[in-house]
């Protein structure tokens, strides 16, 4: 077999830009990063950058979306697993929080540049929240079908869960050292289940 069959496909120019932009954002933060910084890191001309992205905001959003898409793929696989909904929801929360913890650029931008970029941060967050509500709603509907949950409005409850889990992210935003969200997830899930499990 040809050795080239074992080689990974090389990154596209766009992927190279996003990969290097991630490092620059992580190092300098959103506000202090310029298009020139990204072009230099990616070893591309500014003209090349502008052929893919209109501005720095689009690059930042694309960098975060790459990570969110990877998380969505992992969570989608979990949704399809043939396991009870109550186990699935617990596993979902752990996977979700461990993945979100890795979104260092997103949280760094919030921490450093919150006052200047509320609109951008809210736009990114809004897209992610919608995806998460849909996934949680699917698990809740499964639980109702299995006779495990008594929920009349899965969409409403899914929204409440999304809001509750945002509280776990506050220590990440604040940069709290030694924060372990895993210690909080299981007690929250257990408390939630006592309200919806059919006795």
Q: Which residue has the higher pLDDT, 155 or 170?
A: 155
DSSP class per residue in 69-132:
HHHHHHHHHHHHSSS-HHHHHHHHHHHHHHHHTT-HHHHHHHHHHGGG-HHHHHHHHHHHHHHH
Domain boundaries, the chain: 56-196
- Give the H/E segment covering residue 94: helix 85-100
Torsion of CA 144, 150, 156, 159, to 10 degrees: -80
Question: What tens digit of pLDDT does each residue of 16-39 get?
Answer: 999 999 899 888 888 889 999 999
What's the pLDDT at 142?
Answer: 96
Question: What tens digit of pLDDT does each residue of 145-162 get?
Answer: 999 998 999 999 999 988
This prediction has a pTM of 0.73
Instruction: Specify the DSSP class assigned to residue 11.
Output: P
Q: Which CATH class is domain 56-196?
A: mainly alpha
What residues contact 189, with CB distance under 8 A and at least 6 apart? 89, 90, 93
What residues contact 154, with CB distance under 8 A and at least 6 apart? 137, 140, 141, 144
């Amino acid at each position: 077999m040809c050795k080239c069959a074992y080689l990974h496909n090389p990154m596209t120019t766009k992927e190279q830009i996003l990969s290097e932009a991630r490092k620059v954002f992580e190092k300098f933060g959103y506000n202090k990063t310029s298009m020139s910084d990204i072009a230099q890191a990616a070893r591309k001309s500014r003209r090349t950058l502008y052929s893919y992205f209109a501005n720095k905001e689009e690059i930042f959003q694309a960098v975060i979306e790459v990570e969110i898409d990877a998380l969505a793929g992992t969570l989608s696989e979990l949704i399809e697993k043939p396991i009870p909904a109550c186990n699935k929801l617990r596993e979902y929360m752990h996977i979700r929080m461990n993945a979100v913890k890795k979104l260092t650029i997103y949280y760094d931008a919030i921490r450093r540049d919150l006052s200047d970029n509320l609109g951008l941060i809210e736009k990114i967050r809004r897209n992610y929240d919608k995806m998460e509500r849909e996934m949680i709603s699917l698990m809740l509907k499964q639980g109702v079908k299995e006779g495990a949950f008594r929920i009349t409005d899965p969409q409403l409850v899914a929204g409440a869960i999304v809001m509750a889990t945002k509280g776990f992210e506050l220590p990440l935003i604040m940069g709290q050292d030694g924060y372990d969200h895993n210690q909080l997830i299981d007690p929250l899930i257990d408390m939630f289940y006592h309200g919806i499990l059919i006795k």
